[in-house]
Amino acid sequence: MSKVTCFKMAELEAFFQENSLPGTCTKSENEAKEFIKYHKDTGNHVAFVTSGGTKVPLEGNTVRYIDNFSIGMRGAVSTEYFLQHGYAVIFLHRGRSLEPFTRHLQNLRLLDILEVNSIEHGSNSSVVVKSDYCPQVLNVLKTYQDVMKKRQLLMLEFNTLSEYLYLLKACSLALSSLGNRALLYLAAAVSDFYIPKDKMPEHKIQSSEGPLQLSLELVPKMMAPLVMDWVPDAFVISFKLETDPSLLISKSKQALDRYQHQVVIGNLLDTRKREVVSVTKDQENWIRLTDKELSLGVEIESKIVSEIVEKHKKFCSHDCP
Q: What is the pLDDT of residues 257-291, one digit of tens each?
A: 999 999 999 999 999 999 999 999 999 999 999 99
For the chain, the first-to-last Cα distance in angstroms comes to 25
182-186 and 46-51 strand pairing: parallel
Domain edge (last residue) among 233, 249, 269 = 233
Element (H, E) at 184: strand 182-186
When pLDDT is cut at 50, 70 and 90, the band that residue 132 belongs to is very high
Reported confidence tier of residue 7, pLDDT bands at 50, 70, 90: low
Q: How confident is the model at residue 177 (pLDDT cuts 50, 70, 90)?
A: very high
139 inside domain: no
Are 8 and 96 part of one and the same domain?
Answer: yes
Res. 127: pLDDT tops 70: yes
pLDDT above 50 for 321: no
Is residue 204 included in any domain, yes or no?
A: yes
Contact 91, 154 (CB under 8 A): yes
Q: How confident is the model at residue 318 (pLDDT cuts 50, 70, 90)?
A: confident
Query: pLDDT-based confidence at 153, cuts 50/70/90?
Result: very high
Q: Please give the model's pTM, rounded to 2 decimal places.
A: 0.95
Residues 193 and 217: beta-carbon distance below 8 Å: yes
Measured distance CA(177)–CA(158) in Å, rounded: 23
Query: Which positions ≥6 away from 24 have C-beta within 8 Å?
Result: 157, 163
Based on the domain organization, do 198 and 270 belong to the same domain?
Answer: no
In a domain, 203, yes or no: yes
Instruction: Please give the pLDDT value at position 267.
Output: 97
Total of domains in the chain: 2
* Residue 226 and residue 153 in one domain: yes
Same domain for 16 and 56?
yes
pLDDT tens, position by position, 224-239: 999 999 999 999 999 9
Stretch 117-129: mean pLDDT? 79
Provide the residue type at 108 as one letter: L
What's the pLDDT score for residue 250? 98
Angstrom distance (rounded) from CA 103 to CA 106: 5
Residues 61 and 190 in one domain: yes
Kindly state whether residues 221 and 92 are assigned to the same domain. Answer: yes
Q: Does 126 map to a domain?
A: no
Alpha carbon distance 214, 172 (integer Å): 32
- pLDDT recorded at residue 36: 99
Nearest to 74 by CA among 302, 312, 310: 302
Write out the residue range of the structural domain in which residue 282 sits: 240-321
- Output the domain CATH number for residue 176: 3.40.50.10300
Is 212 within the bounds of a domain?
Answer: yes
- Please indicate, yes or no, whether residues 188 and 151 belong to a single structural domain of this protein: yes
What is the per-residue pLDDT across 86-122, written as a single tens digit (0 to 9) for each?
Answer: 999 999 999 999 999 999 999 999 999 999 997 765 5
> Do residue 199 and residue 270 come from a single domain?
no
Based on the fold, state whether residues 56 and 163 are members of the same structural domain. yes
> Of 186, 217, 233, which one is at a domain's C-terminal end?
233
286 located within any domain? yes
The answer to whether residues 22 and 80 belong to one domain is yes
Q: Is residue 106 part of a domain?
A: no
Please state, as a whole number, how many other Cβ atoms lie within 10 Å of the Cβ of residue 136.
14
pLDDT at 184: 99
Q: Which amino acid is at 297?
A: G
Average pLDDT over residues 177-206: 96
Half-sphere exposure of 11 (CA within 13 A, CB side): 16
Is residue 162 domain-resident?
Answer: yes
| In a shared domain, residues 203 and 89 | yes
Instruction: Average the pLDDT over 204-209 and give the result.
Output: 93
Spatial CB neighbours of 205, under 8 Å, sequence gap ≥ 6: 58, 59, 63, 64, 212
Tell me, yes or no, whether 245 and 182 share the same domain. no
- 3 state SS of 92: strand
Quick check: 127 and 117 in contact, CB under 8 A?
A: yes
Find all residues with CB under 8 Å of 310, minimum gap 6, and list them.
none
Domain final residue pick, 200, 233, 266? 233
